[in-house]
Structure 1
Amino acid sequence: MSDVVSHKCPNCDGPLLFDPETQAFHCEYCLSTFKEGDIQNNDEPSSVEELAKESFNLYSCPSCGAEVVTEETTAATFCYYCHNPVVLKDRVSGEFLPNAILPFKISEADAKKAFIKWANSKKFIPKDFFDKSQIEKMSGVYFPYWNVDAELKGSLKAKGTKIDVWQIGETEYTRTRRYDLIRKGNLTFRSLLKNALSKNAKQNMIESVQPFPVMDCQTFDSKYLSGFQAEKRDLEFQDIKSDIDSELNYYTESLLLRDTAGYGRISQSNCHSTILNQSNQYYLLPIWIVTYKGETKSEPYYFAMNGVTGNTSGILPIDQTKLIAASTLLGSLVAGLVLLGGYFLF
């Protein structure tokens, strides 16, 4: 049995949505507005039967009773029929309860404006990429991350060389000095964010819009998911721990090597580091996304925007017809200039 939650307005029982601009919850039916502290955590879940079918699950919408199809990692979505926002409670509770959430601060309207401005700055984009129906596909999604803090002890041994060259009269002198370099220290790393979702198509979106101001994270409350979609992690910390440890060791060596600046050449460096303390927490962080399949239905193109800072990234499709036409025109122009230049020369 699985729980589906729809957060309701205390005044009219309509669905509540979270507004990034006001950092409050509003009801589209009675137009009431509530701050987080105004809403009691008395949402009664609707117990429904979860039917596993391949990599999808079926839930019943608590508002209209329609079946909602979700992927294994979906934690919040909308009913496709009544558009009621629903939270799949079993995917944000128990072992999957996030330690914190960073609420959206950029509204959907502002995200769409930024998307149009960004796409218009690119060349050779298919016309239908700017269609209203395409822009309306923009979704606000909370993606899962592991937030890692760590303290390390590191030591570095290396060979450093300094070369001085000077000239007296017609004689040039060179002096080479070699040093044994030793660097030691304790290093602290804060908020190393790592993707907690294994889907390759979404990893680029998740990684491309960092950093996030994690100091603004709030204690998790499922009400922040209302009006947005959310993904549940499918990578446990142990699945990526070895990669994180390697990354921390790499950063340690880089910082210790940075302290050897001033030597012309560093060689035979040997670094050893030990992780003294390490902690990790599960966060949900906000991203606005637009995906585009195009005519070939190949790997999707995407636009992603950090839901707090506005950092953008994406991979856009290329209209081959426009590209060929532009290339042909450019080629004709170059050929014409060459012929014109030859005419004047000869």
Structure 2
Amino acid sequence: MAVVAYKCPNCGAPLEFSPESQKFECSFCGSSFSEEELQKYEPAQSSEQTIVQEPAEEEGKEETAVLYTCPSCGAQIVTTETTAATSCLYCHSPVVLEGRLQGEFHPDRVIPFAFTREEAERRFYEWVAKKRYVPKGYFDTGKTEYFMGVYYPYWVLDCDTSANYTANANRVRVWRDSRNEYTETSVYRIHRQGDLHFEDLTHCALDSEGRELADGVMPYRVLEAIPFKMPYLSGFRAEIRNLETDALEPVFQDDIHKYTENLLRDTVTGYDSVYNSSLDSDVKRKDYQYALFPVWAFVYTGADQKKYYYSMNGQTGKVAGILPLDRKKLLRDAVLAGLGIAAVLLMIGGLLI
């Protein structure tokens, strides 16, 4: 199984995909190449072999790892089974494990990173600054411990479905005369039927700790995905799927049911109440595509020496993660808010006396 590294045709230094220019750039001589230009050159290659680590005592099972040789410096690096692209720890050259992306594991689409690491850090600290109850001075710009661009695997579903929606509905009319109030309740039986088409229903195809990072930054603008080419992974880490469509089928079915019910329910208007609804739906066609989408993943050690894990959508900039809480400030604001409400109530009470 080949391990490839994309090198500059002019000087031989490693090439990395630049989110800023959307080209493949050499940091040594400053050359840049489009994807079409890069395809004219053969990447450097080496081989890899599978090894088995010792069983973990707490799990009692073997963990498979992969030992590969860096095409640039010859060093040996160990990766996990799901790693498809990474960097050499010794010479820092980006490498792509080509064999992991062949056959059924070849992605159909990819969304390239849309902005650089520096821009991702800027957006993160800007996001933190907007949070009212983060302890002052807790986050110090530029002190993230680990910051890496990772392509996570996703299944993307297009499907057609037919559905029948039924419900009861009431319409109430109230009127008065000089002596009485009258209420008239009209009861209706609602029926909706339709054929629906859904596109780009998306779920992470990785069953690991990284799944939380991948799920937390959704959604993506999937329409902007392009046909997959391996050079887009150069300079980033990439994971391959370990969940197939059958494992995610119940999750996709829940999505389809929920969206179908919401769409048909939205056509029921002009009633005071709708109740006892039911939906019968049948998926007629399903088309799955395998895609890699970008995430900036990073770790920050706070003033309390606790590690905080965050992820950012590499296309939209959406951030996911838990922020520390300034409990004193929260308590102070709660007390002030309570005093304000009490003052208003006393004022209203005084006006009523």
Q: Does the TM-score normalized on the shorter chain lie above 0.5?
A: yes
Structure 1 residue 50 displacement after superposition: 2.5
Where does residue 51 of structure 1 map in the other structure?
A: 51
Matched-pair contact (CA < 8 Å) for 2:17–2:24: yes
Q: d(CA) in 2 for partners of 1:137 and 1:55?
A: 24
RMSD: 2.6
Q: Name the structure 1 match of 2:7.
A: 8
Query: Match of 1:277, SS?
Result: strand
**Partner Cα separation in structure 2 for residue 274 and residue 311 of structure 1:** 34
Contact 1:106 1:307 in 2 (8 A): yes
Partner of 1:239: 247
Query: What is the percentage of aligned positions where both structures have the same residue?
Result: 38
1:102-121 equivalences under 5 Å are 102-121=111-130
Partner of 2:342: none
Could you tell me which runs of 5 or more consecutive residues in structure 2 were left unpaired when the two chains were aligned.
54-62, 340-353
TM-score (norm 1): 0.86
CA contact 1:302–1:316 (8 Å) conserved in 2: no
Corresponding residue for residue 93 of structure 2: 84
For the 8 Å contact 1:115–1:303, the answer to whether it is kept is no
Take 1:4 and 1:79, find their aligned partners in 2: how far apart are those partners? Answer: 11
Q: Residues 182-212 of structure 1: CA distance to partner in whole angstroms, max 9, x if unpaired?
A: 100111111011111111x322321222221
Name the SS of the counterpart of 1:5 in structure 2.
Answer: strand
Could you tell me which residue of structure 1 aligns to residue 279 of structure 2?
271
2:115 alignment partner, SS class: coil
Q: Shift of the alpha carbon at 1:142?
A: 0.8
> Compared with structure 1, are the counterparts of its residues 124 and 260 closer, same or farther at alpha carbon in structure 2 (3 Å cutoff)?
closer
Q: Which amino acid aligns with 1:116?
A: Y
| 2:309 aligned residue (278, 302, 306) | 302
Map residues 123-134 of structure 1 onto 2, 5 A cutoff.
123-125=133-135, 129-130=139-140, 132-134=142-144
What secondary structure does 1:262 align onto? coil
Aligned residue among 167, 174, 191 for 1:182: 191
Q: Is 2:34 aligned against 1:27?
A: no
Output the CA distance in 2 between the equivalents of 1:217 and 1:263: 42
Equivalents in 1 of 2:313, 2:193: separation in Å? 37
Structure 2 distance, partners of 1:327, 1:210, is 29
Conserved? CA contact 1:52–1:58, under 8 Å:
no
Cα separation, 1, equivalents of 2:159 and 2:297:
31
- Counterpart amino acid of residue 19 in structure 2: P
**Aligned residue identity for 1:42:** E
Matched-pair contact (CA < 8 Å) for 1:7–1:223? yes
Whole-Å Cα distance in 1 between the matches of residues 299 and 285 of structure 2?
Answer: 40
For 1:312, which of 310, 319, 324 is the aligned residue?
A: 319
Larger displacement relative to structure 2 (268-277 or 289-298) = 289-298
Shift of 1:297: 9.2
SS in 2 for 1:138: strand
Separation in 1, partners of 2:79, 2:23: 27
What do residues 285-317 of structure 1 show as CA deviations (whole Å, max 9, x unaligned)?
11112124669998x632222212222222124
Aligned residue pairs, count: 326
Q: Report the alpha carbon displacement of residue 251 of structure 1 after superposing the two structures with TM.
A: 1.6
Change (3 A) 1:181 1:41: farther
Q: What's the secondary structure of 1:45's corresponding residue?
A: strand
Tell me the distance in 2 between the aligned counterparts of 1:281 and 1:14: 34
- SS of the counterpart of 1:169? coil
CA contact (8 A) 2:113 2:314 kept: yes
